[in-house]
Amino acid sequence: MIARAGVFLAAAITLALSASYSANSSAPQAVNHAVIVGENLPRSLSDFAFFVDSSRQIPSAGVTPYRLNTPLYSDGAEKLRFVYLPAGTKMRANGAGLLEFPVGAALIKTFAFGDGNARRLIETRVLLHRESGWLALPYRWNDEQSDAALALAGARVDVDAGDSGQISYRIPNKNQCKECHGLQGAVVPIGPKARNLSHRWLSDMAGRSRLDKLPDKHDALPVWEDRKGSDLNAAARAYLDVNCAHCHRPGATASNSGLDLRWEQDEPFAFGVRKRPVAAGRGSGGHEFDIDPGHPERSILAYRMGSTAPGVAMPELGKSTVDEAGLAVIDQWIAEMEQ
Amino acid sequence: MAKLNAACLALSMTAFIAAPAWAETINVAAGEGAQERLQEALILAEPGDEIVLQGGRFELTDGLSLDVDSVTLRGAGMDQTVLDFTGQQGAGEGLLVTSDFVTLRDFALENPKGDGIKSKGADAIVYHRIRVTWTNGPDQNNGAYGIYPVESTGVLIDGTKVSGASDAGIYVGQSFDITVRNSIAEANVAGIEIENSRNALVENNIATRNTGGILIFDLPGLPVMGGGNVIVRSNLVVDNDTDNFAPPGNIVAGVRRGTGIMVMANDNVLVENNVLTDNDTADIMVIAYTQPFDDDRYNPYPREVTVGPNVYARSGRNPQLDGGEMLMTAFGGSLPSVLWDGLSEDGTTALYAVDGTAGWSLSLTEQGKGLGDANPGPLVVDAPGKTFQAEGVGAPSELEDRLG
């Protein structure tokens, strides 16, 4: 029975993917373009019609799944990422950086916990590219898993997070979306940067004319699951870039800290080496420097990653559990750093 | 004529910002679902709207945030409307403001887990009759800052009250055109701190029972540096006698118990007409940045700091300084009111003091090398020779129109 269900699911996904890859398939469900570019805040995720089968996360035509080499940790949630491009439009490469998206595009990310039939969808965050700019909205899944409702003010949901046990999972409010997605006062996507996307996916998108060309310096960040085989420095810097640098960079939420954790920042003081804290408060944990080379146990960066207490924990948002795997990489990176 | 037109335009723009014809009042009461109801109101507000918080205790689990320009958030009074963050589970502050022309008034925050109210890149903001309290008193597990505007131009903080902050009660950082006045900062590590900021007026405040009363700092390694053009006047700075409870690693963790007003680095600072009493280490301290640093853009020295007439009494009687007893004996029983570390940038004057100012100098010779080569002696500095240029110091006057 279980095996049959699995086969059925696989078949459904294959069907759905082929639908999303082919504009000519018979009557594919169309994404509701007007809702994406309109003025309103759609009340339900289903209003967009991003999915043919939303509870199984099977995408509609024009909606393409993707993954990031090194992903943002979110309490261990499984994340399903999709990009929607309106018919006849394409993304544009912009060096190693963020792909440029046409107006009418949308990025969709669903957060789920549990495996197989036990998987529960918790929330889906959408980024809509409207004429006025990007709009970030959070949607909370109902208990029946049939649809998700706009959660402007965010929510707390009790979730079984596997190894971490029961946690109080935080769905961010609309403003908190901007805390991470804000740059120079505007909302921007974070994830789909060429350096953090695979060669295969980018080539495929370019081959299907959904991307104007293969970007320079793409696929540079290591694939997180393969980190043990890759350079420690690259794994650590990729982790910091993806998990921290959307705030800790010039022009973003934590700019005033002076800490710049972007992948391309190569000045050690700027990414925290022997840098004293500014406004850390008790977040300092009694330590003098963000990174004290050779001493993760004396480094504020590792201390705050290892905490879940509000006011201490980093990241400040979307974190109820410590990312032990991420922390292990950062600890080792600091421990092996030249003193 | 051109001038008149410009004035008219400015006036009409002010009116537009203050009260658009379509401005709405949105009432939010405490009770079930307060977190979502209040946050939703903050998100759905339109420019010009006023969100009115009814009296009562709002029990909150997560940080709130406001990102809409020209919104007023008004409570029923700092003792009537309390945003209670005792049960806060997430976010780095109680309330985050990231939009311009915002007015916050007549409410309180209690026990935020991180900072109290942070406004970042929020120009022309008014904090009026806001209270932020950590109810357990001084504790290093309290949040860092009570009122925390940063990277903003135009900040008016008036009639506020902050206590228990493990860093600074009222902290203005990397900002311009600032007034902090008529406020009470009690039992924080730093009462009021102006950091890496310019054009700040700190007047008519009470700073008491902090570790240090009022700090004017400039620090290296930050996006905005070059603090200065600061006036600290007519404040009551008394009994700042709380042991430093800042978590180590933070710059204020180095502030000595019993510091009244402290100027570190900065240029063009005037300290006058304050009442400073019973500050155990020093009523006024003027020093260079104390640590080694590696930042070419940074000037670690105090420059052109003027100590005008102030009232001093009973200071320096229990200094938190190595060899304090010996020093007190040497100076005849207690330390003089004004302490300078003796450091200055070549070619500039660090400090002027009006005649009759009782002071002493550590006579240090090198920045960032600690107190090892201190050679204490009486303060010998010139009297101020010119009038302080006060023009442009303080918040823009249009912010005052939102009071009352």
Average pLDDT on A263-278 reads: 93
Contact between chains at B173 and A173 (C-beta distance less than 8 A) = no
Concatenating the DSSP letter of every residue in A201-223 gives HHHHHHHTTSBSSPPTT-S-SPP
* Domain that includes residue B233, residue range: 171-398
A158 lies in some domain: yes
* CA–CA gap between residue B103 and residue B399 (Å, rounded): 9
A319 lies in some domain: yes
* Domain that includes residue A199, residue range: 2-23+32-207
Residues A10 and A157 in one domain: yes
Residues A46 and A191 in one domain: yes
pLDDT digit string, tens, across residues A141-190: 999 999 999 999 999 999 998 888 899 999 999 888 888 999 988 999 99
Residue finishing a domain among A151, A180, A207: A207
Q: With a cut of 70, say whether residue B12 has pLDDT above it.
A: no
pLDDT digit string, tens, across residues B192-229: 999 999 999 999 999 999 999 999 999 998 889 999 99
Q: With a cut of 90, say whether residue B16 has pLDDT above it.
A: no
A216 lies in some domain: no
Question: What total of structural domains would you count in chain A?
Answer: 2
Q: In what order do the strands lie in the sheet with B282-287?
A: B62-66, B90-97, B115-120, B145-150, B168-173, B190-195, B212-217, B259-264, B282-287, B338-340, B359-361, B377-378
The pLDDT value recorded for residue B275 is: 98
Q: With a cut of 70, say whether residue A134 has pLDDT above it.
A: yes
DSSP letter at B341?
-
* Distant-in-sequence, close-in-space partners of B8: CB < 8 Å, separation ≥ 6: none
Average pLDDT on A103-123 reads: 95
Burial (0-12, 13-18, 19+ Cβ within 10 Å), A30 = exposed
Residue finishing a domain among A174, A207, A240: A207
A214 lies in some domain: no
pLDDT digit string, tens, across residues A12-46: 444 444 444 444 444 567 999 999 999 999 999 99
Instruction: Provide the token pair at B55.
Output: 């009296």
The pLDDT value recorded for residue B404 is: 78
Residues A161 and A241 in one domain: no
Residues A133 and A44 in one domain: yes
Residue of B nearest to A316 (CA): B91
B95 lies in some domain: no
* CA–CA gap between residue A246 and residue A248 (Å, rounded): 6
* Distant-in-sequence, close-in-space partners of B189: CB < 8 Å, separation ≥ 6: B138, B165, B166, B167, B168, B210, B211, B212, B242, B244, B245, B246, B252, B253, B255
pLDDT interval class at B5 (50, 70, 90)? very low
Contacts of A309 in chain B (CB under 8 A): 113
Residue A155 sits at the chain B interface (C-beta within 8 Å): yes
* CA–CA gap between residue A45 and residue A68 (Å, rounded): 23
| Cβ atoms of B209 and B237 closer than 8 Å | no
Contacts of B153 in chain A (CB under 8 A): none
The pLDDT value recorded for residue A3 is: 40
Closest CA to A236 of A218, A221, A258, A248: A221
Residue A282 sits at the chain B interface (C-beta within 8 Å): yes
Q: Look over chain A and give the mean of its residue pLDDT values, rounded to a whole number.
A: 90
A40 lies in some domain: yes
The pLDDT value recorded for residue B7 is: 42
pTM, two decimal places: 0.88
SS (H, E, C) A297-322: HHEHHHHHHCCCCCCCCCCCCCCCCC
Residues A44 and A115 in one domain: yes
pLDDT digit string, tens, across residues A297-326: 999 999 999 999 888 999 988 788 999 999
What percent of the residues of chain B are helix, what percent strand, and what percent coil, each to the nearest 5? 10, 40, 50
Closest CA to B75 of B102, B101, B55, B61: B55
What percent of the residues of chain A are helix, what percent strand, and what percent coil, each to the nearest 5? 30, 20, 50
Determine the distance in angstroms separating the CA of B153 from the nearest CA of chain A, rounded to an integer: 14
pLDDT interval class at B107 (50, 70, 90)? very high
Q: Look over chain B and give the mean of its residue pLDDT values, rounded to a whole number.
A: 92
Q: Is the ipTM of this complex over 0.85?
A: no
* CA–CA gap between residue B71 and residue A322 (Å, rounded): 36
The pLDDT value recorded for residue A24 is: 44
A215 lies in some domain: no
Contact between chains at A179 and B96 (C-beta distance less than 8 A) = yes
B80 lies in some domain: no
Residues A53 and A201 in one domain: yes
Residues A295 and A156 in one domain: no
Residue A268 sits at the chain B interface (C-beta within 8 Å): no
Question: What total of structural domains would you count in chain B?
Answer: 1
* CA–CA gap between residue A283 and residue A211 (Å, rounded): 43
The distance from CA A13 to its chain's CA centroid, rounded to whole angstroms, is 22
Residue A118 sits at the chain B interface (C-beta within 8 Å): no
B153 lies in some domain: no
To 10 degrees, what angle do helices A232-243 and A324-335 make? 130
| Cβ atoms of B343 and B323 closer than 8 Å | no
pLDDT digit string, tens, across residues B356-392: 999 999 999 999 888 878 899 999 999 998 889 889 9
Q: Which one of B43, B96, B114 has the shortest CB-CB distance to A311?
A: B114
A74 lies in some domain: yes
Percentage of chain A modeled with pLDDT above 90: 75
Percentage of chain A modeled with pLDDT above 70: 92
Residues A191 and A240 in one domain: no
| Cβ atoms of B190 and B149 closer than 8 Å | no
Closest CA to B221 of B115, B300, B168: B300
A56 lies in some domain: yes
